[in-house]
Amino acid sequence: MAAARGYRLACVMPEKMSMDKRVALASLGASLVITPNVPPDDERNFRNVARRLARERGWFHTDQFANPANPRIHESTTGPEILTQVDGPIGAFVAGAGTGGTLTGVGRFLRSHSPGVRIVLADPIGSRLAHLVSTRHPDVDSPYQVEGIGGSVLPEVLDLTILDEAERVSDEESIETTMRLWREEGLFVGPSSGTAVAAALRVASRPELAGPVVVVLADSWDRYFSKPWLSWHPDPGAGRGGGTRHPRRERNGPSDTVVRNSEVRVPEPPF
Ligand SMILES: Cc1ncc(COP(=O)(O)O)c(C=O)c1O
């Protein structure tokens, strides 16, 4: 969108994000600023660096974690689109929260247009967000592999009052579910989709729902080619949905189809 409108775009992102995302953004002409994976109160955290660069250089700060335009567009477009497609009462809406824009915007719309709907956060184990939704979940803050969702602090746009509950999903279950979506549904999605669908399957197994469960698949697998977990193939001898090996056990022996981060050249940002 920036290229089409003639704006220069600088993207500030933590090291954790895949090399493929860097390559894609750089290929589109964006400048990249990569920050270390440090907590939100550290001045080197990506949000603090973005804020500082915008202030020092007079840039417009999109501030997706705090900008009310983010949930507003989901409330006025994504929510109505879902309701039109489902064409009836929705039992539950399940999504992960990165900025929280999708969950808050769609949640607000469905609350007032689909009586009885349950709004459910799908949260990676390691993220603190589930605990903020319900103290039934432990107060943990530890690393996890799934990208784009969860975190240590509540994003400003995530409105906890519209959430009914949270489901916590491990990296292993997220990745296994992602691979099931590939093999069983032909949906080449990324791992946050596995987190959301794993949570949605739990919600869907409950008898008391008013209608179908709607779940958001936020991105696609081509943003994760450089990630080791993408090369863990299911055991050919295993049945449907089984046999996916645990990522951490495979760390020392990635297959030769892996594009290693060190092999990918990304242009240096001009600052
Ligand atoms: C891969 C992925 N999944 C899910 C989300 C969550 O979307 P939201 O920011 O609307 O909470 C994001 C956010 O950028 C993402 O990058």
Q: For residue 45, name the pLDDT band (cuts at 50, 70, 90).
A: very high
The arithmetic mean of pLDDT across residues 221-247, rounded, is 60
Answer yes or no: is the C-beta of 218 below 6 A from any ligand 1 atom.
yes
Arithmetic mean of pLDDT over the chain: 87
For residue 215, report the distance from its CA to the centre of ligand 1, in Å: 13
Q: What is the length of the chain?
A: 271
Name the CA radius of gyration of the chain, rounded. 19
CA distance linking residue 201 with residue 167, whole number of Å: 10
Q: Say yes or no: domain 69-222 is CATH 3.30.300.130.
A: no
251/75: higher pLDDT = 75
The arithmetic mean of pLDDT across residues 134-163, rounded, is 96
The arithmetic mean of pLDDT across residues 126-140, rounded, is 97
The arithmetic mean of pLDDT across residues 143-148, rounded, is 94
**What tokens were used for 69?**
């335009």
> How many CB atoms neighbour CB 270 within 10 A?
7
**What tokens were used for 236?**
């050919």
Q: Say yes or no: domain 2-57 is CATH 3.40.50.1100.
A: yes
User: Considering only 49-53, 55-59, 165-169, 265-269, which range has the smallest mean pLDDT?
Assistant: 265-269
The arithmetic mean of pLDDT across residues 44-64, rounded, is 97
**What tokens were used for 78?**
């994504």
Answer yes or no: is the C-beta of 101 below 6 A from any ligand 1 atom.
yes
CA distance linking residue 61 with residue 7, whole number of Å: 13
Instruction: Measure the CA dihedral 179/185/188/191, to 10°.
Output: -40
pLDDT for the residue numbered 229: 75
Q: Which tens digit of pLDDT belongs to each residue from 55-92?
A: 999 999 999 999 999 999 999 999 999 999 998 999 99
Best mutation site among 102, 108, 133, 160 for ligand 1, i.e. most ligand atoms within 8 A of its Cβ?
102
pLDDT exceeds 90 at position 255 = no
Best mutation site among 219, 223, 227 for ligand 1, i.e. most ligand atoms within 8 A of its Cβ?
219
For residue 99, report the distance from its CA to the centre of ligand 1, in Å: 7
| Ligand 1 atom at shortest distance from the alpha carbon of 191 | 1
Answer yes or no: is the C-beta of 98 below 6 A from any ligand 1 atom.
yes
Answer yes or no: is the C-beta of 192 below 6 A from any ligand 1 atom.
yes
pTM listed for this prediction: 0.85
Q: For residue 210, name the pLDDT band (cuts at 50, 70, 90).
A: confident
78/263: higher pLDDT = 78
- Residue spans in the chain of domains classed CATH 3.40.50.1100: 2-57, 69-222
User: Considering only 70-74, 105-109, 221-225, which range has the smallest mean pLDDT?
Assistant: 221-225
